[in-house]
Structure 1
Amino acid sequence: MTNTATTTTPATPATSAGTNTSATGGSEHRAEAKTRFNAAVQEAKAGAAALRAEAGERANAYRSQARGKSGSLAADAKGYGEEAKTKGRELANEGKAKLSGGIASLSRMVADNAHVVDEKLGAQYGDYARTASRSLDDTANRLDQKSLDELTEDGREFVRKSPGLAIGMAAVAGYMLSRIFGGSRR
């Protein structure tokens, strides 16, 4: 026969103490884990603050380097601008002198050939050629006497007074230049 009766043993002080110890030990572990977690959070916050401070210092260093370089580049650009302005003025003066010389040369050529026009077409047309020669010579002299600033202002005044004529002249000049330079490609 089998004994089916079970015996219950009363709780012993060691068993109940072990249960209490594990409950108390769990609280202690939780408290220790919480303390460690809070310490880690505080350490992470301190590390983030240190990184933020270091990043700020580096940003300030880069900013000051950039300011120094931008100041240097601005000074260089200003120097190049002044140099280009001077060189442009020199080239414009040379161009003005060449244009004046070309007009004077054209005037002399027309004056030298006025007698041929007299012979071929008549005295009246020869006089037209001489008048054109004097007009070209006067234009060359006026061009020599005026400064670039005066010529620029004269050009602006002409455009203000006759904008349609100025646009037409620019279109004709552009067409002629395109024919001159475009013809060399063929």
Structure 2
Amino acid sequence: LTVLTNSLVAYAIARNMHKKVYKVLFYYFVSAMFVPFPIIMLPIVKQMSAIGLNNPTGLIILYVVYGLAFNIFLYVGYIKTIPKELEEAAIIDGCSRWGVFWRVVFPLLAPMNATVGILTALWAWNDFMLPLVILSDRNDATLPLVQYIFQSQFSVNYNLAFASYLLALLPMLIV
């Protein structure tokens, strides 16, 4: 979801950067990278609870939205290196703008899609703060939250922590 949505937005911004609206939009997204999560944490938690998205679906939506700034920064820089002549040739051959993106540009974005996918997966896998404040049901806990249960002020129960970690990874190891 992140790769699809962010690449579409970045393509629109990169190819229309000569227009003032898109340039302002690009700088707006880039400036969002400088806002730390703890500053906006409380309003986000209240908003997500008010609309009933304090579950994994809400967490996925927030990951897509929070990754937007950095991913657009990466995608725009990469899309600028793709020659416009390829898109012009596709338009002459009868492609629509959607067709140009899906048939020409998106396949050329494969290295950047892999980069964004890997970075987003690592960020979501290792994130502790966002699931801690968003998820209300204990059964929806992510792996870092489950590991947090086994820590107390003065000790860590390593044997149970590692056992729970292996049980969480077991379905992936079987495949």
TM-score by length of 2: 0.27
Q: Which has the higher contact order (CA 8 A, sep 6+)?
A: 2
Structure 1 or 2, whichever has the larger Rg, is 1
**As a proportion of its length, which structure holds more helix?**
1
TM-score by length of 1: 0.25
